[in-house]
Amino acid sequence: MKKIVVLGSINIDTILNIARLPLPGETMAMHDRSIAGGGKGANQAIAAVRAGAETSFIAKIGKDHAADFMIDTFKNDGLNIQNVTEDNVAGTGKAYILLDDHGQNSILIYGGANQTITVEDIKNASETIKSADCLITEFETPLEASTEAFRIAKANNVLTILNPAPAKQNIPEELLKLTDIIVPNETEAQAITGIEVVAEPSMAQAAKKMHAMGVKNVIITVGANGSFYSQSEKSGFVNAYKVNTVDTTAAGDTFIGYLASKLDSDLSNIEEAMKFASKASSITVQTQGAQNSIPYVKDVEI
């Protein structure tokens, strides 16, 4: 069984259903409102464990009811949460999701306890990282913590996957050089490289620039169109599965969790892993919400 560690965020998602995204200064009525578990880190960890991997989570929560709700969710999925700790001051992270009738979303984030993860917290989880096959992180937690985690991982031959989300410019050079696979979407790829990603030639151009920054392997996800990969000796495109999209929340996180669960350490099966991840994501987008929409491996067939 693959052993995966995720360093990342925990949020409680408040989903606001609207006909379309509001214009500046506009007041709109909502169709509906709901609350669910979320956070990119938590979503990725749940995706990995539901994909069949032995998964550990490094994260921080507040001392509040939101934290209790999330811990119960993690326990129900069998996630190892020995490195999920409490912050005595900051509350559990929150996300406010504007979801339109076409399944597209815009998201506002309150970082809360997610932003209090320290290098010391990472050092306390070092044995968990050292024993893993793969470590995943994203940008909803402090960069210093992510970099320390990747240092420990690479010193122990652990595969590192960086999801550079939310989009960020000027990613530290050290973090990129410690990254085995970077997995941005088209918006994030443009933020990193300055190249507008609109078709496969521009994907290749953006990937080439990321290679020059020190990243050996690049996967760019482009939503309903699919995903592009680039390695030193080969590149290719994997088409997405065509489905009726209800909500794209957690689709990218599902992709990454399932990808990590399937990838061989030498990445020789990268296309197979991407197809598997794409299939899982196609199931996620057919249900509203984040963690509740992430499928179990028994429901993912390719």
> What pLDDT score was predicted for residue 195?
97
Look at the chain and report how many structural domains it folds into: 1
Cα 69 to Cα 36: distance, rounded to the nearest angstrom: 9
Phi, psi of 217 (to 5 degrees): -130, 135
Q: Is residue 215 part of a domain?
A: yes
Residue 76 is part of which domain span? 3-8+40-83+115-294
Residue 206: name the closest of 222, 272, 241 by CA.
Answer: 222
Label each residue of 214-272 as H, E or C. Answer: CCCEEEEECHHHEEEEECCCCEEEEECCCCCCCCCCCHHHHHHHHHHHHCCCCCCCHHH
Q: Is residue 72 part of a domain?
A: yes
* CATH code at position 218: 3.40.1190.20
Clarify whether 253 is annotated catalytic. yes
Q: Is residue 104 part of a domain?
A: no
Q: Of residues 180, 253, 264, 266, which has the active-site annotation?
A: 253
The answer to whether the annotation marks 249 as part of a ligand binding site is yes
Q: Is residue 225 part of a domain?
A: yes
The pTM (predicted TM-score) of the whole model is 0.93
Q: Spell 88-97 as b/e; 16+ CB within 10 A means b.
A: eebbbbbbeb
The answer to whether the annotation marks 284 as part of a ligand binding site is yes
The answer to whether the annotation marks 13 as part of a ligand binding site is yes
> What pLDDT score was predicted for residue 301?
78
Cα 97 to Cα 253: distance, rounded to the nearest angstrom: 15
The answer to whether the annotation marks 43 as part of a ligand binding site is yes
Q: Is residue 133 part of a domain?
A: yes
> What pLDDT score was predicted for residue 125?
98
Q: Is residue 20 part of a domain?
A: no
> What pLDDT score was predicted for residue 105?
81
Token couple for 184? 């941005």
User: What is the residue-level pLDDT of the chain in tens, covering all 302 positions?
Assistant: 899 999 999 999 898 999 998 999 999 999 999 888 899 999 999 999 999 999 999 999 999 988 998 999 999 999 999 999 999 899 999 989 898 988 788 888 899 999 999 999 999 999 999 999 999 999 999 999 999 999 999 999 999 999 999 999 899 999 999 999 999 999 999 999 999 999 999 999 999 999 999 999 999 999 999 999 999 889 999 999 999 888 888 899 999 999 999 999 999 999 999 999 999 999 999 987 789 899 999 999 76
Q: Is residue 228 part of a domain?
A: yes
Q: Is residue 29 part of a domain?
A: no
